[in-house]
Copies of this chain bind each other. A is one copy, B any other.
Amino acid sequence: MLDQVVCLAAVTIMGVLEQAYFSLQVIYARRKFSVSPPCTSGPSQFDRVFRAQVNCSEYFPIFIATLWTSGVFFNQGVSSVCGVLYLYARLRYFKGYSQSPQQRLTPLYFSARILWLLIALSCVGIFLCFWRVYVDVNLLQLLST
């Protein structure tokens, strides 16, 4: 049974490692610009790195929830590929935002599109599961015959 979620687990750990990387960048930025905790604002270059990390942290649980829902109810392979693309978009977002607010936009829109795709796949998977469970009709099988 674990074989049906092992790719999702691998993408999850990749996501955790990415978050760890972002956290380390904030620590380096704190040292570089002398912004000591509990303070959270400083020169705009620090603010951008800090906000990039906060934004990625905020979306992390949403990403994990949609990754697993679409992976379990729709398809593990498709969801895992989307997951890797999302993490790549977030990396580019973080690096872009560190440069300027403008440069965060392209990867941000791309990551949002992937999240919407994961949400759509989840909805399809849940919808098909509801029909199987509560109406006892396998819609996919019905369509293919």
A interface vs B, CB < 8 Å? 2-3, 6, 9-10, 12-13, 15-17, 19-20, 36-40, 44, 47-48, 50-52, 54, 57-58, 60-62, 64-66, 69, 72-73, 97, 101, 104, 115, 119, 122-123, 126, 129-130, 132-133
Least CB distance from A90 to B in Å reads 14
Q: Which residue of B lies closest to A66 (CB)?
A: B16
21 residue pairs A–B, Cβ–Cβ below 8 Å:
A2-B133, A3-B133, A6-B126, A6-B130, A9-B72, A9-B122, A9-B129, A10-B126, A13-B65, A13-B119, A16-B119, A17-B119, A20-B62, A38-B47, A38-B50, A38-B97, A38-B101, A40-B51, A57-B58, A60-B62, A61-B64
* Neighbouring B residues of A133 by C-beta, 8 Å: 2-3, 6
Contact A44 B38 (CB under 8 A): yes
Q: Which residue of B lies closest to A44 (CB)?
A: B38
* Neighbouring B residues of A16 by C-beta, 8 Å: 62, 65-66, 119
